[in-house]
Amino acid sequence: MKKEKIRHIAIIMDGNGRWAKKRLLPNKLGHREGAKVLKKITEYCDEIGLQYLTVYAFSTENWNRSEKEVDDLMALLSEFLDEYISNNDKNNIVIKVIGDKNRLEKSIVEKICTIEKLSENKKGVQLNLAINYGGRDEIVRSVKKICEDVSRGKVREREITEKLFSSYLDTKEIIDPEILIRTSGESRVSNFLLWQIAYTEIFNIKKLWPDFNKKDIDEVIKEFKNRNRTFGER
Ligand code: FPP
């Protein structure tokens, strides 16, 4: 068994809708249960000493869902941020948001700023919430920022390397994930962390996100240790 330390897990939390449908519950309650599970999994990742947990909470494509579902998700997000703001003293968790904040409501952006500031010096796991996030969008935004810096003379074209490019992404200062988990049996990457998952090990879990638990994290970590992780070399 390899001893590689796992520092970063990314998760596509899929299946909230199906979970609710199976129980004849409104879709909103599936997302609500999903948010509860996210809190538990974050606590567990903190307990096991993980450095980063990055989750896909709202994608750039999710705006195309019904107005009601978008409103429900934004309300849930707002509640989620409020809870972390009021319980800030009771946990060890750092919260950061990745994605384009420009399209988010002002009240949500303010809550994001508040929790990012309140939690920035904590020593526990860093929960990166991907909100209005799309991997392609992140790459395009980064290209634009580099172009601006080139035109201002801050960066020269020959200085553009993979390392420099990474430093323009929302995930600058965060190492690439060793593990990407997708629940609910789907095998798509769905525009999540496209640049960052170049060599990430992908785990497809059959369970729907609201049924996911800490034992599933343990099993993924155990399987990761048995995989032969390579980076294109022999
Ligand atoms: C996919 O399930 C999940 C989402 C679109 C959103 C993920 C959100 C959460 C887990 C809850 C809230 C998180 C925060 C931070 C508030 P789906 O609805 O696409 O599932 P389905 O494919 O079964 O319909």
Q: Please name the residue whose Cα sits nearest to atom 3 of ligand 1.
A: 14
The pLDDT, as a whole number, for residue 230 is 80
Low-confidence ranges of the chain (pLDDT < 70): 1-3, 234
The pLDDT, as a whole number, for residue 32 is 98
Cα 118-120-121 angle, rounded to 5 deg? 105
The DSSP code for 209 is: G
Query: Quick one: which atom of ligand 1 is closest to the CA of 31?
Result: 11
Torsion angle (degrees, nearest 10) of CA 170, 106, 88, 35: -80
Give residue for tokens 């920035």: 120
The pLDDT, as a whole number, for residue 229 is 81
- Residue 62 beta carbon below 6 angstroms from any ligand 1 atom: yes
Measured in Å, residue 33 CA sits from the centre of ligand 1 at 10
The pLDDT, as a whole number, for residue 4 is 73
The pTM (predicted TM-score) of the whole model is 0.96
Return all residues near 208 (Cβ < 8 A) that are at least 6 apart.
Answer: 14, 15, 16, 18, 19, 22, 183, 184
Measured in Å, residue 16 CA sits from the centre of ligand 1 at 5
Query: Quick one: which atom of ligand 1 is closest to the CA of 184?
Result: 23
The pLDDT, as a whole number, for residue 228 is 83
Measured in Å, residue 12 CA sits from the centre of ligand 1 at 9
Q: Token digits for 144?
A: 């634009």
The pLDDT, as a whole number, for residue 3 is 62
Return the number of other C-beta atoms located less than 10 Å from residue 200's C-beta. 18
**Tens digit of pLDDT for each residue in 82-114?**
999 999 999 999 999 999 999 999 999 999 999
